């Protein structure tokens, strides 16, 4: 940090952080580990990254004048993506603007029919060696090899071996990753062996601390992918990576968050970072590229070629990650430019290739991935759903955190539930689907997605629906929460543009499902099972997902299964089983990667999929 850096004192913690002059506060705060909500990618559009600058505020910019009231501006409220560090300042970050905590359930071992024996890549072997003597002057490496078999080792491990062996009086525990020696520890440490599984989502990171001896998950933690401040979708980041220093910044950004996750996992389980020997990562192809600083430029253009598809194994210090000094990284193999290690992890977790009937895996996220296993063949496609399901690009959308409406029901009157029972701030993906399904049922929106005027609603439409329909032809909308009940400072509505965003997101995934089935000659009704994956997947109500056509309505609802964060679960399997790693490689290699956009049927199918199903299915 240069000498010209500017001190920013945080209220109420009293902590001072420093920022380079001209850096937007959102970045300065992110660098200090304080991640703000910015679904618009820091473009001054969503107005969510509010901070209060108590002293040293700069004059508000146009975007701030547009999104903030006069009273707010006077009180020092600013948008952290717009206002820049220009002079020493005192800053308060309202809890609401933070994204430190997520409401997300990480299921441990979902849908696991077959239990896998633990056969981790990291293994420990306790040995007692004879000390060197004039009759036995074998090198230290050869002495150890006599006991544990041939191994490879980095220079630093070989270099410290004389000291390690003697500190342990030649009686200790060899730590190996496959056939690579990582350490020689004094005493018998076989009971202590840990690893971390990480799901690198475009929006959210989730990590689990795994006990490699028992196979148990000792702790989990999640956090926002701080790369979101550079843009909420994959393509924006690919473009940024192409710029000068962009890739390095993106990598540093995600690594810093992974570092914090590891710190928090170790702290909550009461172990040392040095006892973590391996970290396994699963994410979409772009996230894995950014993590490993692999040039992602070709993921942004036809035909979306990854740098490498196979699994990666390398020293953790190459990223770097602060775990055991000789710790390792494993990154799952990918299927194609938009079907990544997270999908392979999902296939691994669900045993997708071994299911008896035609089976689908659908991972609903910023990028939706669909895999079909049928007749011994595997095919996969990516659907550019966009971040609507994560609350972005929806007028009052937000991520699934405290204050988010996560459920909307109608039982005579419209009712909402919020996360943390807080006053409502906006709606997250599951509520968006709920509400759209209700509006379709009451014909407030047509199958084509158009808002009807209240006067056009069928007779018998309940008052609590009819009264909420705005008839302003310039801005047709449905009132979900009136201003006086809202914590957002304004009414929470769903408008015509939001419905279009939902149609695009839902239609993209539906198109993927339909095209994969059609190519395999399978009717939706023949699907034996559909696994709904992704952190968000768990909150989607099946009936509603069918109602809005996210899932073909002809797939019976009872064949839809939730399987949670299979990306994280698959990364964990890769830590615990070398056989699962081999299987991941095989799955990635044999899965046919379908480029949906190149399918001649794509346009027609997509156009059809944008139409909401009629209500009688």
Find out whether 223 and 100 touch, Cβ atoms under 8 Å.
Answer: yes
Query: Which stretch, 46-54, 94-102, 188-196, 287-295, contacts a copy of itself (CB under 8 A)?
Result: 287-295
Assigned token pair, 382: 């990516």
Phi, psi (degrees; rounded to nearest 5) at 593: -95, 115
- Binding flag, residue 243, a copy of itself (CB under 8 A): no
Least distance between a copy of itself and beta carbon 161 (Å): 5
- Nearer CB in complex with a copy of itself: 49/370: 370
The interface region with a copy of itself, picked from 81-89, 204-212, 306-314, 358-366 by CB under 8 A, is 306-314
For the chain, report the end-to-end CA distance as a whole number of angstroms. Answer: 61
Query: Helix (H, G, I), strand (E, B), or coil: what is residue 270?
Result: coil
Nearest distance from C-beta of residue 603 to a copy of itself, angstroms = 16
Dist CA 400 CA 420 (whole Å): 10
Q: How many residues line the site for a copy of itself (CB under 8 A)?
A: 45
Per rule CB under 8 A, is residue 292 in the interface with a copy of itself? Answer: yes
**Least CB distance from residue 500 to a copy of itself, whole Å?**
29
Binding segment toward a copy of itself, per CB under 8 A, in 29-37, 160-168, 220-228, 516-524: 160-168
The Cα–Cα gap between 604 and 617 comes to 21
Closer of 45 and 312 to a copy of itself (Cβ): 312
- Residue with tokens 């909402």, as numbered in its chain: 416
Rounded CA gap, 369 and 513, in Å? 9
Dump the DSSP string for 102-145: ------SSTT--SPPPPB-SEEEEEEE-PPPBTTB---HHHHHH
**Tokens coding 125:** 């072997």
CB-based contact 368:512 (threshold 8 Å): yes
Burial 519-537 (b: 16+ CB within 10 A, else e): beebebeebebbbbbbbbb
Stretch of 31-39, 294-302, 401-409, 449-457 contacting a copy of itself, by CB under 8 A = 294-302
Q: How far is the CB of 239 from a copy of itself (least distance, A)?
A: 15
306 binds a copy of itself (CB under 8 A): yes
List C-alpha distances in Å: 409 to 435, 545, 551. 8, 14, 20
Query: CA Rg, the chain, in Å?
Result: 26
Rank residues 109 and 158 by Cβ distance to a copy of itself and give the closer one: 158
Letters for 325-354 (x = contact with a copy of itself by CB under 8 A, - = none) are: -----------xx-----------------
The 571-600 site mask, x for binding a copy of itself (CB under 8 A), equals: ----------------------x-x--x--
Q: Give, in degrees to the nearest 5, the angle at Cα 543 between 542 and 546.
A: 85
Q: By CB under 8 A, is residue 314 in contact with a copy of itself?
A: yes
Q: How far apart are CA 346 and CA 537, in angstroms?
A: 13
With respect to a copy of itself, which residue has the nearer C-beta, 247 or 533?
247
- Per CB under 8 A, which of residues 76..135 are in contact with a copy of itself? 132-134
Q: Does 310 bind a copy of itself (CB under 8 A)?
A: yes
Shortest Cβ 157–a copy of itself spacing (Å): 10
Residue 43 interacting with a copy of itself (CB under 8 A): no
Task: Give the residues across from 124 on adjacent strands.
Answer: 175
Site string for a copy of itself, 131-150 (x = CB under 8 A): -xxx-xxxxxxxx-------
Distance, in Å, from the CA atom of 554 to the CA atom of 492, rounded to the nearest integer, reads 33
Quickly list DSSP for 182-219: EEEEES--TT--EEEEEEE-SSEEEEEEEETTT--EEE
Closest CB 134 distance from a copy of itself, rounded Å: 5
Nearer CB in complex with a copy of itself: 130/543: 130
Residue numbers at the binding site for a copy of itself (CB under 8 A): 132-134, 136-143, 154-156, 158-163, 166, 292-298, 302-310, 312, 314, 318, 336-337, 593, 595, 598
């Amino acid at each position: 940090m240069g000498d010209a850096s500017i001190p920013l004192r945080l209220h109420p913690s009293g902590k001072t952080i420093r920022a380079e002059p001209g850096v937007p506060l959102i970045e300065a705060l992110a660098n200090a580990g304080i991640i703000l909500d910015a679904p618009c990618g820091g473009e001054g559009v969503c107005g969510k990254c509010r901070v209060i600058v108590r002293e040293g505020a700069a004059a508000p910019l146009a975007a701030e004048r547009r999104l903030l009231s006069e009273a707010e501006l006077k009180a020092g409220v600013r948008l952290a993506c717009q206002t820049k560090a220009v002079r020493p300042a005192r800053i308060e970050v309202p809890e609401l603007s933070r994204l430190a905590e997520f409401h997300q359930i990480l299921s441990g071992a979902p849908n696991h029919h077959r239990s896998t024996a633990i056969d981790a890549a990291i293994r420990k072997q306790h040995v007692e060696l004879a000390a060197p003597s004039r009759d036995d002057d074998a090198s230290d490496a050869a002495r150890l090899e006599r006991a544990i078999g041939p191994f490879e080792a980095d220079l630093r491990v070989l270099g410290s071996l004389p000291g390690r062996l003697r500190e342990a009086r030649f009686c200790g525990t060899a730590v190996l990753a496959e056939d690579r020696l990582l350490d020689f520890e004094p005493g018998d440490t076989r009971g202590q062996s840990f690893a971390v599984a990480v799901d690198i989502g475009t929006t959210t990171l989730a990590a689990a601390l795994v006990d490699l001896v028992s196979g148990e998950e000792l702790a989990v933690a999640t956090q926002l992918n701080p790369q979101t401040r550079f843009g909420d979708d994959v393509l924006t980041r690919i473009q940024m990576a192409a710029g000068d220093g962009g890739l390095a910044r993106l990598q540093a950004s995600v690594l810093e968050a992974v570092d914090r996750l590891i710190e928090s996992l170790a702290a909550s389980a009461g172990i040392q970072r040095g006892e973590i020997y391996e970290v396994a990562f699963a994410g979409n192809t772009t996230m894995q590229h950014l993590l490993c600083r692999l040039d992602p430029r070709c993921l942004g253009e036809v035909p979306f070629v990854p740098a490498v598809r196979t699994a990666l194994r390398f020293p953790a210090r190459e990223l770097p990650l602060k775990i055991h000094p000789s710790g390792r990284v494993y990154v799952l193999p990918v299927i194609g430019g938009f079907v990544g290690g997270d999908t392979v992890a999902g296939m691994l977790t669900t045993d997708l290739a071994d299911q008896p009937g035609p089976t689908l895996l659908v991972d609903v996220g910023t990028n939706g991935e669909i895999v079909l296993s049928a007749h011994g063949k595997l095919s996969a496609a990516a659907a550019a759903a966009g971040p609507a399901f994560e609350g972005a690009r929806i007028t009052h959308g937000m991520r699934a955190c405290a204050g988010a409406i996560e459920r909307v029901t109608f039982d005579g009157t419209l009712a909402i539930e919020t996360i943390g029972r807080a006053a409502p701030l906006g709606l997250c993906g599951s509520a968006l689907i709920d509400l759209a399904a209700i509006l379709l049922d009451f014909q407030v929106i047509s199958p084509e997605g158009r808002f009807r005027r209240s006067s056009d609603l069928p007779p018998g439409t309940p008052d609590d629906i009819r009264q909420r329909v705005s008839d302003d032809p310039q801005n047709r909308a449905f009132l979900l929460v009136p201003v006086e009940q809202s914590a957002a400072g304004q009414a929470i509505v769903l408008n015509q543009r939001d419905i279009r965003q939902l149609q695009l997101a839902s239609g993209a995934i539906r198109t993927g499902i339909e095209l994969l089935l059609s190519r395999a000659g399978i009717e939706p009704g023949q699907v034996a099972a559909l696994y709904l994956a992704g952190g968000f997947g768990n909150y989607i109500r099946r009936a509603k997902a069918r109602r809005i056509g996210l899932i073909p309505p002809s797939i019976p609802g009872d064949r839809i299964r939730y399987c949670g964060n299979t990306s994280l679960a698959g990364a964990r399997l890769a830590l615990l089983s070398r056989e699962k790693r081999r299987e991941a490689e095989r799955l990635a290699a044999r899965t046919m990667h379908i480029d949906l956009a190149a399918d001649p049927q794509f346009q027609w199918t997509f156009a059809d999929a944008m139409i909401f199903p009629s209500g009688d299915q």
